[in-house]
Amino acid sequence: MKLFDLSGKAAIVTGGNGGIGRGIAVGLAAAGANVCIAGRNEEKNERVQREIDELGARAISSHCDVNVEADIASTIAATEEAFGGLNILVNNAGIAALNAPEHMTDEEWGSVIETNLSSVFKFSRAAHSSLAKSGGGKIINIGSMYSIFGSPFAPSYSASKGGVIQLTKSLGVAWAKDNIQVNAILPGWITTDMTAPIKSDMTDLYEAIVARTPAGRFGQPEECVGAAVYLASESSNFVTGQNIAVCGGYSIC
Which residues participate in catalysis according to the annotation? 157
Q: Is 206 helix (H, G, I), strand (E, B) or coil?
A: helix
Q: How far is the CB of 127 from ligand NAP (least distance, A)?
A: 15
Q: How far is the CB of 175 from ligand NAP (least distance, A)?
A: 21
Pick the closer one to ligand NAP by CB: 7 or 107: 107
Q: Which of residues 210-239 bind ligand NAP (CB under 6 A)?
A: none
Task: Say if residues 209 and 186 touch (Cβ distance below 8 Å).
Answer: no
Task: Work out which of 72, 142, 171, 184 binds ligand NAP, going by CB under 6 A.
Answer: 142
Helix, strand, coil in percent for the chain, rounding step 5: 50, 15, 35
Half-sphere exposure of 214 (CA within 13 A, CB side): 8
Q: Report the residue count for the chain.
A: 253
Task: Work out which of 6, 12, 25, 64 binds ligand NAP, going by CB under 6 A.
Answer: 64
Phi, psi of 184, rounded to the nearest 5 degrees: -130, 150
Using CA atoms, how far apart are residues 201 and 83, in angstroms rounded to an integer? 43
Pick the closer one to ligand NAP by CB: 135 or 207: 207
Task: Work out which of 187, 227, 243, 244 binds ligand NAP, going by CB under 6 A.
Answer: 187
- Tell me the window of 24-32, 188-196, 209-217, 233-241 that interacts with ligand NAP (CB under 6 A): 188-196
Q: How far is the CB of 217 from ligand NAP (least distance, A)?
A: 12
Asked if 163 is part of the footprint of ligand NAP (rule: CB under 6 A), the reply reads no
How many C-beta neighbours within 10 Å does residue 217 have? 13
Pick the closer one to ligand NAP by CB: 6 or 190: 190
Task: Work out which of 49, 75, 87, 115 binds ligand NAP, going by CB under 6 A.
Answer: 115
Task: Work out which of 65, 80, 178, 222 binds ligand NAP, going by CB under 6 A.
Answer: 65
Q: Residue 84 to residues 10, 114, 193, 202: CA-CA distances in angstroms?
A: 8, 30, 33, 46
User: DSSP class of residue 221?
Assistant: G
Alpha carbon dihedral 235, 253, 19, 41, in 10-degree steps, equals: 100
Task: Work out which of 168, 181, 192, 236 binds ligand NAP, going by CB under 6 A.
Answer: 192
Pick the closer one to ligand NAP by CB: 34 or 75: 75
How many C-beta neighbours within 10 Å does residue 127 have? 22
- Interaction site with ligand NAP (CB under 6 A): 14-15, 17-21, 39-41, 44, 64-67, 92-95, 115, 142, 144, 187, 189-190, 192-195
